Amino acid sequence: MRITAKIMIWMFLICQLSVNGQKISDDSLMKKARLEIYDNPDHTIDIGKSLLKKETDINKSIGIYLLLSTANIAKRNFDQSLQYILKAKELVQKTNDIKTQTNVLISVAIQYQQMELFSKSLETLNEADIYLKKLPADSSERLIETARSYAIRGMIYKSQSNSEIALEKFLLAVQNFEKVEKKKATYANMSVVYYNIAYCYLNLNQTEKAQRAFTQSVDYAQKVNAKSLEAFALKGMAEMHKQNRKNQEALNLLIRAESLCKNTGDIILNEGIYKEMADNYLAMGNSGLYQAYNKKYFEMRFKREQNELNSINHSINNHNKETLKKAQELTACYNSLTILMIIAGMVIIIILSYFILKIRKQNGKYRKDIQQLIRS
């Protein structure tokens, strides 16, 4: 279930492309890059890199970094994705755009959730909530980012096998997505949410509701021609058929799913499809195809684990850098306070010394005056 809990999260990054990419939406290359991010992420990456080389505007650069991060997550290249998202986070500190700041923080939270660093994800979501409250209540940006925030929290609860609370968060995400006027911009995200809602219902043994949720996930995916999302939903339906021992029906869906995602390079999606196909062929007694797909499954699993390991290592390095930076800032602050205290101490000593000398001088004068009065 750990793979299932994270298997679709990357698609929520698509929202960032419509929010941060609004200023460059007229650029044909960016449009093409966004359209191909589902089924040809390599081309999207090539376009993003070429645009990044000549871009000087901070907000546009942030949009491109988020695009590159999303495309790499589509390929399950978590290492590269993390590096791009951290560059976006570094750049966003130089802008006062609340929408961009909120968007990037939630995208960073998604990255941490993907890596199963749940405490870091929740910490980042809480930070994003501060900016969220500053956006107009009925604005599409606030509705979308609020929906994404609920969805990520739902993913975390789902990963921790708390399906009831996860379902509550997912349904809140749906409510906010449905309030967005331009629904087409949210169809991909709705597909992701309903996919996860279906698994929550499966965990709660509510199969009919799960089937309806998978169907809704397929419908929303088809509205934006998101083949990867459709493949995920079909795989989910296939799992339900497998549980009911309808192995041929399950295989029919999996063959469709495999065909849909052939150009995506999505390691986790392929891993899930190959595993399900291997299980169904084994149940049907087809040892040859079972061995073939089981081998493909282990190859994809190995690639995924290597990518996750590299990503976690970079995350640790980045955390160490942030900790070192904070330590240096605290040291500099401590040194500054120490210098100020020394200067303040020296000033106090000088002032006290002045008054002490002044009092002594006055006392000496009074002593002389007294002695003269006595002699007289």
Mean per-residue pLDDT of the chain: 83
Distance CA 229, CA 159 (A): 20
Q: In 3D, which of 6, 8, 4 has the Cα closest to residue 217?
A: 8
Between vectors from CA 134 to CA 70 and to CA 11, what angle results, nearest 5°?
15
Q: In 3D, which of 209, 250, 216 has the Cα closest to residue 233?
A: 216
**pLDDT for the residue 155:** 93
CB atoms under 10 Å from CB of 119, counted, come to: 9
**pLDDT confidence of 15, banded at 50, 70, 90?**
very low
Q: Which of 73-87, 178-192, 308-322 has the highest mean pLDDT?
A: 178-192
**pLDDT confidence of 7, banded at 50, 70, 90?**
very low
Distance CA 163, CA 167 (A): 6
Amino acid identity, residue 288?
G
Structure confidence by residue, pLDDT tens digits, 145-158: 999 999 999 999 99
Predicted confidence (pLDDT) at residue 20 exceeds the cutoff of 50: no
The model's pTM is 0.69
**pLDDT for the residue 320:** 67
